[in-house]
Structure 1
Amino acid sequence: AGVGSLSQVSKEEGSALAREFNCPFFETSAAFRYYIDDVFHALVREIRRKEREAVMAMEKRSKPKSSVWKRLKSPFRRKKDSVT
């Protein structure tokens, strides 16, 4: 689309895409500034939510490292225990 041309997406198409991506759907107009601020704020909220999810996922992944370490050390303990 060129400068000054209008690009439109049907409400049904936009709504279906929003459901597919599990995100909010807004009907907006950049030309008339309809709901532009609402979209911006919703976008920031989604980014923050994704960041929180990423942090929680990282924390979950970091916890099993201790159990992996224990599993790696456990064969050596068994050998030591069986020798004595």
Structure 2
Amino acid sequence: MSLNALLSSMSQSSAAKMDPAILKIMKESRQQLEDSGLHQQALGAGEKLTDFVLRDASKNEFSSREALKKGPLLLSWYRGIW
């Protein structure tokens, strides 16, 4: 099974277990994002990002330039609830 097929299957399985009201909100939110065109401005896999510095919860700096000196850098974002 390909990764796309597996992800599609997982998505369908998850949606089948979800509260219909929540699923409706998620679908509407996704449609709003697509309608806004904002997603077309996002970087794609393999595209280059400018150097950046971020601070963590303890106010320590994280430099992308310094991290890349140690090897490849993988960035991942998730939407948390806090």
Common topology (TM > 0.5): no
Work out which of the two has the higher radius of gyration on C-alpha atoms and give 1 or 2: 1
TM-score by length of 2: 0.30
Higher-helix-fraction structure: 1
Higher-strand-fraction structure: 2
